[in-house]
Structure 1
Amino acid sequence: MTSRPGKTNARRRTLLAALALTLGALPLAACGGGSDDAGSAEDAQFTKDVSGELSVWGFNNADDVGKARLASAQQQIGDVKINLDETGFDSQKFTTRAASKTLPDVVQMDRQYVATYAAQDLIVPLDSCFSLYGVDPSSYWYPAVVKDVTYKDKVWAAPQFFQPSAIMLNQRVLDQAGLTAADFDTSKTDALLATAKKLTVTEGGNPTRLGFDPVAEGQISAWVLGFGGQVMDDAGVPTLDNPNNARAIAYLKQLYDAQGGYAKAKSFGDAFDTFGKNNQFVKDQVGAQIDAQWYVNVLSPYTKDVDISATPFKDQTGQPLSVSGGTSFVIPAGAKNMNAACAYVVDLTNEANWTAAAEARAATLAGKPGSINTGLFTGSPSVDKTLREKFVKSSGNKGFDETIATYYEVVGAAKSQGSSPAGQAIQSELRNALSAVLLGQKSPEQALTDAQAAAKRAYDQFGG
């Protein structure tokens, strides 16, 4: 890709300013130097001549797993001095630093940002980096995870983590009502509506228990894909006005209406002590709820106070479904130490690194009697399998063991939302449309038509 430097620089400055304004206003999903040559991102070359200093932005609030991974990567990369900025990722800060050419060599970011920066030549493709170290993305990571960071047939990031979602069941509530996991089959929509309504309890018109919490805002992509919808096409063009998307959102409104309405359900849910000892499963405030795998860890200290199990979220054909998502490592265009950056992102995501993390987690749990090892979901099927076999043993709690097994079951049924230069804008507009429908402000069709128009404008600006 070539162009005259003057025009290239002017275009880059305009796009960086627009990116800073647009992305800076969007919700952050997780936790480099730009070049004047528009071809630099495509022309990145890597060798195994690794030395010097490396600047890294990521790992804010690192836990035992994060600290072990940092130590493992440092050990693997040898004498390279790593300077770590542990502040959380900020899109506006990224684009501002790109414009001033002060980005570090490696940046950790949510995978939905990757195509945005790839389209603007602000990061480099990593295909040659992976090839140099014998990493085949298509076989090392789940296909859906790789799709998250693929743009124009190139892989632009090293993905990490994939937290699948499933329906966590409050078995105590189900047993009292004579219900089973089969009653929470999301492919049987009419029956699920009846189940949700049956288990819901209200006082004075306000819910004191939600029969089934669909977590619409956090799980909207799963509902959309589950109904056969699509948020973007294979080229990254938004497709929010897909008729099946409207069907999914209309059904979510039915679900909330059957449980007292979205406004009341949301107010009730916002008051949950989600991370505490009086959480919604301890207090029987839900009959069932869609939760990501990490939430099993939150509940594990309360095994005596909860009675849980789980069942897969299913699409409308009855097949298990989970939506891929997570963070990744990118190398900004113009990074001062490309070779060390390449080695580092490989070291941070290889099996040795994840094994060190799993060992650290096992050591932490060993010091807490009764703790349950729920596994690490790395984004790599081979690593997940190895770590599960080595570290995830029977806990003696049937419900927790069934729940852990369910998450391992659904992780292989992952679908990607796709990869788009307007990825964050698409997600934001989808959530805006959902909110407008659930609050009764717009019909599903009108809300999604409006969302599509806004998302398409973002796509045209940054990638079209």
Structure 2
Amino acid sequence: MRARAGAAGAIAAALLLTGCGGGGAAADADFTADPTGAMTGWGFENTDDVGQARLDHAASQLEGVEIELDQTAFDAQKFTTLAASGNMPDVVQIDRQFVATYAAQGLIMPLDECFAAHEVDAQQRWYPQVVQDVTWQDQVWAVPQFYQPPLILTNTRVMEEAGVSADDLDPSDPEALIAAAEAMTVSEGGSISRVGFDPQGVSKAAMWMLSFGGGIVDESGAPTLDREENVAAAEFLIELYDAQGGFAEVTGLVESFDIFGDGNPYVTDGVGAAVFDQWYVNVLTPYAEQIEIGAVPIRNQEGQPFTATGGSSFVIPASAENPSAACAWALALTDPEAWQAAAEARAETTEAEPERLGINTGLFTGSPESDMQIRDEFASAEGFPGFEEAIEAYYAVAAEGASLGGSPAGQQIQGELENAMQSALLGERSAQEALTAAQEAAQRAYDQVAGG
């Protein structure tokens, strides 16, 4: 929590330094110019087979451009320091939750003209909810990439042992879901040794609130943390954790899991079901012979499949010296040919690494066209029906996603939400009290940055 608060504070401080309004470069950007010269980028750390294939493709499309990348992780404090000094790279890879914050302060360029110059229809290339993630005041401010929807990843062995079915894991019937979680939980000596259902109640709180018909921001980006529906979602999560021994007990066990290794909770049967983004299925592939998994979509209160968006994006800072090349490069990294190259690279990796057992979970690109093409050509888990079910479930639910919404105080709002949920789940405050206090703090943060 301390790290999140530090990042949010760094953003707020830098916004006060930079003020509102973009620089002259943003106003003068000519996205129709042929991309030439030098282009700098930042935020491209830990490039894997998928990333390298896309970088190679983009470089081949911009042969007249000298591309120099800073392959370190994005850092909010560094970004705002560079913005204040005017020494920004031409393109930066950032989480989509930052986009509205930087757009509202004029630190990045709107990209509608970038798309128009390259005849890219944003609503056609990406899922509408993904575009909504990077839309602020009716303009699109980033080139999105990736969208790995969360759903409920089940442990079939544990569910069968506890007499729980997939139909029981339905948030539109909270009592049945809570009973199922309690049935799958195991306690020994006063402490739990198995979590029935891990909803990721703090980090995924905004998603749960959307599923209950709420939301953490309104259409203008103002915080709405204390909405009636949000309080209902928080109270549901409190009951869910309490039925399993309490938030502290559940969190303590979850944090002890070796989720990336041999001690992961699906090998050890440490969990009956849990909310995971799509990437975790890929993590589990080396253990396919040891585990029995399945998948259930999260549902809204009408019982319809539901998920929430999230992912990264490319932004062009307002002071970028080569916006034309930055625009062309970001679009090349996310065009269908780039994703095809990435999928081929992942298929080669799958074949070359026996520990993957021939399982290819596909790629979730943020583009429905690319997703479906990759699924049909490459996604496969022959001989592992649980993985086949999970792969298909993640692809099926992607179209049902909802955006968490953008706000110039997005990071601060998220931080206040997580603090409030932590307090409520630990029993320090009621859900209503915690969210009311969070709303007041988030509103102050919003008024400070949105009024600039």
After TM superposition, give the deviation of residue 96 of structure 1 in Å.
0.4
Structure-2 separation of matches of 1:137 and 1:59: 23
- Residue 418 of structure 1 corresponds to 405
> For residues 394 and 38 of structure 1, do their structure 2 counterparts lie closer, same or farther at Cα, with a shift above 3 Å needed?
closer
Pair 1:359-2:344 in alignment = yes
- Residue type matched to 1:160 in 2? Q
Pair 1:373-2:360 in alignment = yes
TM-score for both structures, normalised by structure 1? 0.92
Pair 1:24-2:38 in alignment = no
Worse overlay, 426-435 or 367-376: 367-376
* Residue segments in structure 1 that go unaligned for 5+ positions in a row: 1-18, 27-32
- Residue 320 of structure 2 corresponds to 335
Task: Kindly tell me the number of residue pairs found equivalent between the two proteins.
Answer: 440
SS of the counterpart of 1:458? Answer: helix
> For residues 103 and 20 of structure 1, do their structure 2 counterparts lie closer, same or farther at Cα, with a shift above 3 Å needed?
farther
After TM superposition, give the deviation of residue 48 of structure 1 in Å.
3.5
* Residue segments in structure 2 that go unaligned for 5+ positions in a row: 13-17
> Which residue, 423, 428, 431 being the options, matches 1:444?
431
SS of the counterpart of 1:232? Answer: coil
Mapping of residues 269-284 of structure 1, within 5 Å: 269-284=254-269
Structure-1 separation of matches of 2:145 and 2:403: 14
- Residue 37 of structure 2 corresponds to 52
> For residues 35 and 312 of structure 1, do their structure 2 counterparts lie closer, same or farther at Cα, with a shift above 3 Å needed?
closer
Mapping of residues 55-204 of structure 1, within 5 Å: 55-204=40-189
Structure-2 separation of matches of 1:334 and 1:301: 45
- Residue type matched to 1:171 in 2? T
After TM superposition, give the deviation of residue 34 of structure 1 in Å.
11
Structure-2 separation of matches of 1:173 and 1:58: 40
> For residues 201 and 134 of structure 1, do their structure 2 counterparts lie closer, same or farther at Cα, with a shift above 3 Å needed?
same
Whether the aligned pair in 1 keeps the contact of 2:111 and 2:142 (CA below 8 Å) is yes
SS of the counterpart of 1:287? Answer: strand
Q: Deviations over 1:385-405 (max 9, x none)?
A: 111111113422111100110
SS of the counterpart of 2:93? Answer: strand
Pair 1:252-2:234 in alignment = no
Whether the aligned pair in 1 keeps the contact of 2:10 and 2:80 (CA below 8 Å) is no
TM-score for both structures, normalised by structure 2? 0.94
After TM superposition, give the deviation of residue 262 of structure 1 in Å.
0.5
Q: Deviations over 1:306-359 (max 9, x none)?
A: 000111010111011111011000000121111111101111111111111111
- Residue 386 of structure 1 corresponds to 373
> Which residue, 394, 402, 424 being the options, matches 2:389?
402
> For residues 346 and 310 of structure 1, do their structure 2 counterparts lie closer, same or farther at Cα, with a shift above 3 Å needed?
same
After TM superposition, give the deviation of residue 37 of structure 1 in Å.
6.0
Structure-1 separation of matches of 2:400 and 2:281: 19
SS of the counterpart of 2:204? Answer: helix
- Residue 450 of structure 2 corresponds to 463
Whether the aligned pair in 2 keeps the contact of 1:301 and 1:371 (CA below 8 Å) is no
Structure-1 separation of matches of 2:329 and 2:227: 40
> Which residue, 272, 286, 292 being the options, matches 2:271?
286
Structure-1 separation of matches of 2:108 and 2:230: 32
SS of the counterpart of 1:192? Answer: helix
> Which residue, 236, 241, 250 being the options, matches 1:265?
250
> Which residue, 313, 318, 327 being the options, matches 2:303?
318
Whether the aligned pair in 2 keeps the contact of 1:105 and 1:335 (CA below 8 Å) is yes
- Residue type matched to 1:327 in 2? S
- Residue 211 of structure 1 corresponds to 196
After TM superposition, give the deviation of residue 99 of structure 1 in Å.
0.8
- Residue type matched to 2:256 in 1? A
Whether the aligned pair in 2 keeps the contact of 1:236 and 1:419 (CA below 8 Å) is yes
Q: Deviations over 1:198-242 (max 9, x none)?
A: 111001111101111111122212211011111000111111111
Structure-1 separation of matches of 2:155 and 2:143: 36
- Residue type matched to 1:261 in 2? G
